[in-house]
Amino acid sequence: MKKIMYFLMSWTFIGLGLAFVPNTKPKYLHLDKKQAVYTVEASCGSCQFDMPGDDCQLAIKLDNKKYYVEGPNINDYGGSHSKNGFCKVVRKAQVQGKIVQDKFVASYFKLLP
């Protein structure tokens, strides 16, 4: 009887713990149908776009200008140094957002196949 009681209590605590886990879905995955969607080149700014900086950071080319991206992380779409990672190849993406102080602040970022 004690084993059943411990079993039920443990599942109760696990369930309560999961109920308070915040929604971790990134905000930059919500498409706003009222805003324009741009198809851009996306890659590592320093490795592929020859942008200043020593760290690997996600960047886009929009209207022949290069911008570092705020919002999605370079590793959100797989390892940046993997075979198809942003540090190795330039990919196409659909984006929405604003340019703020020479950075593209993404509200939507979808990597295309």
CATH code matching the domain that covers 26-111, chosen among 3.30.450, 2.40.50, 1.10.10, 1.10.3910: 2.40.50
- The pLDDT score that the predictor gives to residue 43 is 96
For the chain, the distance separating the N- and C-terminal CA atoms, rounded to the nearest angstrom, is: 55
- The pLDDT score that the predictor gives to residue 9 is 62
- Give per-residue pLDDT as tens, 2-33: 667 666 666 565 555 555 555 444 556 678 88
Top-confidence residue, 41 or 25: 41
- Give per-residue pLDDT as tens, 58-92: 999 999 999 999 999 998 888 888 888 999 999 99
Report if pTM > 0.85: no
Distance CA 42, CA 6 (A): 52
Domain ranges of the chain: 26-111
The closest alpha carbon to 110, from 58, 39, 49, belongs to: 39
Top-confidence residue, 100 or 5: 100
pLDDT category, 1, cuts 50, 70, 90? low
